[in-house]
Amino acid sequence: MHSIAFAPREDLQGGLIDCSAGGFSRAMDVSVHSFIRMAKLAAPLMTDGGTMFAMSYHGAQKVVANYNVMGPVKAALEAACRYLAYELGEKRIRVHPISPGPLKTRAASGLKDFDLLLNEAASRAPIGELVDIDDVGFTCAYLATPYARRLTGQTTYVDGGVNIMG
């Protein structure tokens, strides 16, 4: 399970066009390449197959106001998951990018107007509720079982249906 993301505050707070090369590079290293490094270390230990997870967000696929540099970074993470799913599939290792709705986390607290994002997600969700960490855990638990043995590489949304809304 990979659930780490980072961008320097000054690069996260401004628009994407204002993100420094160093800040972008650091965000990619911490948020994407660390998953690739983790996969390289974990794969040899998974001699009977296994499942790897990386936490993404809807801002990887659609523009989310104030998500800024993290949108392209999470898009790269989802692409890395697809490529790792392809490369590790012959070893029976499945790779899942998970895209929860907005969750109250320490990392999310760095996003500008995060409370507005939470309120908007709750109002747009067809089920009318925000997801919580348990919802994400239940989804990962399912995907790690034989019931999901033929699934790999696809981004799984755990967002109450927000991603289907126009």
Beta-bridge partners for 49:
47
Q: Is 57 a catalytic residue?
A: yes
Distance, C-alpha 78 to centroid of its chain: 7
Answer yes or no: are the C-beta atoms of 96 and 52 closer than 8 Å: yes
Q: Is 67 a catalytic residue?
A: yes
Catalytic residue among 67, 83, 86, 157: 67
Measuring CA to CA, which residue among 23, 21, 43 is closest to residue 31? 23
Measuring CA to CA, which residue among 87, 76, 82 is closest to residue 32? 76
Alpha helices in 89-146 (DSSP H): 114-124, 133-143
Terminal CA-to-CA distance of the chain, rounded, Å? 30
Q: Is 67 helix (H, G, I), strand (E, B) or coil?
A: coil
Q: How many CB atoms lie within 10 A of CB 2?
A: 24
Structure tokens that stand for 48 in this block: 């009977």
Catalytic residue among 57, 83, 142, 157: 57
Q: Which residues are catalytic?
A: 57, 67
